[in-house]
Structures are given as C-alpha cells and as structure tokens.
Structure 1
Amino acid sequence: MTITSQNVAVDASAVAQAAAALVPSTVPLTAVPCAASDVPTGLDAVVATFVGAPSADLLFVAADALADVEAAGAAAGARLAPGDALRPALEAAAQALGAGVLEQVRTEPVQQVLVPGAEVFALEHDGVAVAWFAVRVRAGQTAAPAAPAGRVPTQRGSMRMLYDVDMTLTAQIGRTTLPVRQVLDLVPGTVLELDRAAGSPADVMVNGRLIARGEIVVVDEAYGVRITEIITDEDGR
C-alpha cells in the first residue's frame, strides 16, 4: 500500500511491518491493512511525529501486545511506560520512512489522534489482532526540488528544512546484553560489565545512529563529551 502526498510516495505497508517486527510481543506480529473503525476506542495511543521528507505521524494502539512486558515489570515492582516499550518499534518505522528526526513519544486518546487520511494496520498473530499501527503522511510535504542542470544536490541543502529541529544526542560508554530474568533481578550495588575497555571513547548517538566518538570530560560538575572523531557514511555506520 503506497501513500502519495505532494509527490512524496510512502510504502505504508513496509513502514508498518518494520514497526511490527520490533513490538515487544512474545509472538511474531504481521501488519495487515484494516479500517480505522476496527481500532477500539476508549484506549490510549502511543504517538510520535517523524520530521523529514516526507513527514508523518506514527501511532500505536498496543491493546494486548504489551501484556507480558507489563506483567514482568509489575512482578519486579516497576512499571514500563508504553511509550518506552514501543520506542524501538517507532524508530524502526521512522527508519523505513527515510532520513529525518523522530520527535518525542507521547500518549493521547486514540479517538483524538486517529484522524482521516491515516493508513491503519492490524498487528496480528494467527489472524488475531493484538495491536494496531497507523501512519499518516502530513499534508503539504513535498519532494526535494530538482537541482539545476549540471549541479548535484548536497546533503546540507537537502537537510536545510531540519535546521531548527531539536535533536537528542546520547553518549554511550558501552553496552551489555542480559536475559529478562537477570534484568528483573537487578538491585542497587549490582555491577554490570560493559563491552568497552576503560578509557575507550564514548559513542555519540542520534536516534540510535552513531555520528561521533569522544572522551568523557567534566564541565562545571556535569559530565560532557569532547568530540574526537566524526563518523561519516563512508565509515559504514
């Protein structure tokens, strides 16, 4: 299913399937087109806006898809917000749309945000819908203008529309992988061994994408990162 808005074509089915693959469900989910009327009302939707070319609103109605995750959190005495649980799925949908920025995830009543023009998909397992996903390309988005003859458009020019968009940068000193059982057993004082040697540079990330490396410094009693390396597309990142 393809949405076309002002010369911008979006493969809504591919976006929905990318999102479905990262929903934290204990069973695999498949995105199947459905009507907006199939989405139950009276529930909250997890929503995020993607700013790019095209820009789009992304929406999840989790329903029963997060039941196991919520139960595991409750057993550990913690509550995982639906927006946090679905953030990876929203980021996957954003990547399927192309270059751009995924704004802050928010929660709103589904009847207020599921507006006309959205392509809606049931996220099903064995024919049973356990969640719903919708994508709506924002009106007025246009494809990048063609460059004059003899000129090649630059990345800086194509990104000009995003110059005033705030982006969240994250410094990552390392990571590790643990089964859910061990995560639920974490207590104050637990030491986690990361996959990075002491003194190694930290990774600077934007929406999960590596853009730079740097060393950790202290600035006015707050942590900071001094950039030592800029990562380009040619680095294969």
Structure 2
Amino acid sequence: MSTTSTVVDALAAAAAAAPLVPAAVPLGAVPATGAPPADALAVVAGVVGPVSAELAVVLGPQVAHALAEGAGGAALDPAVALRPALQAAAATLGDGVLEPARVTTAGLVTGPGSQVVALEGVDGTYAWVVVRERPGVPPQAATPSLPSQRGASLRALYDVELTLTAEIGRARLPLRQVLDLTPGTVLELDRAAGGPADVVVNGRLIARGEVVVVDEDFAVRITEIVSAPDAV
C-alpha cells in the first residue's frame, strides 16, 4: 500500500472518530507533527476485513481527565467509552469486523508503518488516532463442514431454549445503599452513555450490541460477536 493511500485512510478514520472522542470542544483531524507521549493511555482494536489494520485512539491529558472524572465522579472504562470512536474509524476502511478493544500505551501502538493523526481543539491537541495496516493478513479459510453424524446430533438440540439477557451496565453497592433504594433513585452504571450492551446467554457473554426501539419495545442490534477467549 502506498504512503499516500495510507495517509488518506488515516485522516478519514480520524475525522470519523473525532466527534465521538469525549472533549469539551469540537475536534478536527490534522496530520500530527510528532508522536504522542509514549506513556499516554491508548485504546486499540484490530479490524479484520478487505483492509486489515490496527486502530488506536491515544488520549491526551484533557480526554484522560474527562474519563477519570466520568459521570458524577465515577471513572469510565476507556475501552468502553472510546469504542464508538473506533467503530466510526473502522467504518471508513470498508466492510470488516472490529475486534474487542484493549487498553495499552501509545509507545506500543506507534512505530514503523503507523500513521498518526492529531485531533485538535481550539486550545491544543486532545487525542491522536493511529492507523497501522496489518500486511499480508489472508482471508480466513472456509470452515470445514461437520460430519453428517455430528450435524444430526446438533440438530437434535436446535429446539432447546436458552435464556438470553441484554445487560447495559453494572453497579456495585454496599448493602446499606441497596436497603435505602427508593423509587426515583438514580444508579450510576459502569458504562458510558451510548456504550454497547452485553448479550449474555445462560451467563456467558456471546455478543455486544446497541439498544434500539422496535415497535415501542426495546431491542438489541448485534454489532459484535465475542470469541470464546473474550467471553468472560
């Protein structure tokens, strides 16, 4: 891939992510004049598709402070809070699957082959978006079909009912606060507003999605299937 196409992709990805990065002012995407601090917090996720790459949002001091303050003083999980920004950036690369986000440091996501774009506000740099292509990632091979005997055995289980739960967040409270709950009490959850809901089947996380309304009923649109190692 040429340097020119990589730069254009990085700018487009950063521009798409900019409105979804927590900031007190509007942010614009401009080519970075230098690398972000190596010890700055970064949220990174891979994209697997026609264009396979690693996308990262590196937090500047203002964004890191905003997440630490959270809502009502409760800190927000950076991987949850910045996933919408990563999803928007991933959409500019075409069809693909965004892997689960993880938190690391800028020094581990910047390096040879990476393109860095600064997200600038009126008073300085708030964050950076890093795009690094994964060269030579082959399309996944077709999954071999199951033997007919095994397939027949699985079909016998198709009508077994499972309990599916959509979870938008959790909170831990001491017993005294639980006993003091009354109608109108507001509970702060461990998710940012607009963050994905967990889809759980019989206690096991299988997917994440966004809450929508269908015919005046709540529903969940699946945005990510969680692989077995991440289903914790």
Match of 2:193 in 1: none
Secondary structure of the residue that 1:57 maps to in structure 2? Answer: strand
Distance 1:118 1:83 in 2: 20
Which one of the candidate residues 7, 10, 14 is aligned to 1:16?
14
Which one of the candidate residues 83, 92, 95 is aligned to 1:96?
92
Gaps of 5+ in 2: 144-163, 169-184, 189-211, 226-232
In the TM superposition, what is the alpha-carbon distance from 1:108 to its structure 2 partner? Answer: 1.4
Q: Tell me, yes or no, if the aligned pair for 1:43 and 1:110 is still in contact at 8 Å.
A: yes
Q: What is the identity, as a one-letter code, of the residue corresponding to 2:105?
A: P
**Superimposed CA distance per residue, residues 166-201 of structure 1 (whole angstroms, 9 cap, x where no aligned partner):** xxxx97699xxxxxxxxxx7239xxxxx95567x58
Secondary structure of the residue that 1:97 maps to in structure 2? Answer: coil
Match of 1:52 in 2: 49
Distance 1:197 1:173 in 2: 20
Q: Tell me, yes or no, if the aligned pair for 1:119 and 1:136 is still in contact at 8 Å.
A: yes
Matched, 1:205 2:222: yes
Q: What is the identity, as a one-letter code, of the residue corresponding to 2:84?
A: P
Matched, 1:161 2:163: no
After TM superposition, list the pairs within 5 Å mapping 1:186-205 onto structure 2. Answer: 186-187=186-187, 195=213, 200=217, 202-205=219-222
Q: What is the identity, as a one-letter code, of the residue corresponding to 1:140?
A: G
Match of 1:106 in 2: 102
Structure 1 pair 109–201 and aligned structure 2 pair: CA distance change class (3 A)? closer
Q: How many residues align?
A: 163
Structure 1 pair 42–201 and aligned structure 2 pair: CA distance change class (3 A)? closer
**TM-score normalised per structure 2:** 0.59
Distance 1:87 1:61 in 2: 12
**Superimposed CA distance per residue, residues 187-222 of structure 1 (whole angstroms, 9 cap, x where no aligned partner):** 39xxxxx95567x584441249xxxxxxxxxxxxxx
Distance 2:54 2:222 in 1: 23
Q: Tell me, yes or no, if the aligned pair for 1:29 and 1:123 is still in contact at 8 Å.
A: yes
Structure 1 pair 110–69 and aligned structure 2 pair: CA distance change class (3 A)? closer
Q: Tell me, yes or no, if the aligned pair for 2:56 and 2:129 is still in contact at 8 Å.
A: yes
Distance 1:112 1:69 in 2: 21
RMSD: 3.4
Secondary structure of the residue that 1:11 maps to in structure 2? Answer: helix
Matched, 1:136 2:132: yes
Structure 1 pair 162–107 and aligned structure 2 pair: CA distance change class (3 A)? farther
Q: What is the identity, as a one-letter code, of the residue corresponding to 1:91?
A: Q
Match of 1:86 in 2: 82
Matched, 1:3 2:20: no
Structure 1 pair 45–69 and aligned structure 2 pair: CA distance change class (3 A)? closer
The percent identity for this pair of structures is 39
Q: Tell me, yes or no, if the aligned pair for 1:91 and 1:207 is still in contact at 8 Å.
A: no
Secondary structure of the residue that 1:161 maps to in structure 2? Answer: coil
Q: What is the identity, as a one-letter code, of the residue corresponding to 2:223?
A: V
Q: Tell me, yes or no, if the aligned pair for 1:173 and 1:196 is still in contact at 8 Å.
A: no
Structure 1 pair 163–38 and aligned structure 2 pair: CA distance change class (3 A)? same
Structure 1 pair 196–95 and aligned structure 2 pair: CA distance change class (3 A)? same
Q: What is the identity, as a one-letter code, of the residue corresponding to 2:118?
A: A
Secondary structure of the residue that 2:83 maps to in structure 1? Answer: helix
Structure 1 pair 58–46 and aligned structure 2 pair: CA distance change class (3 A)? same
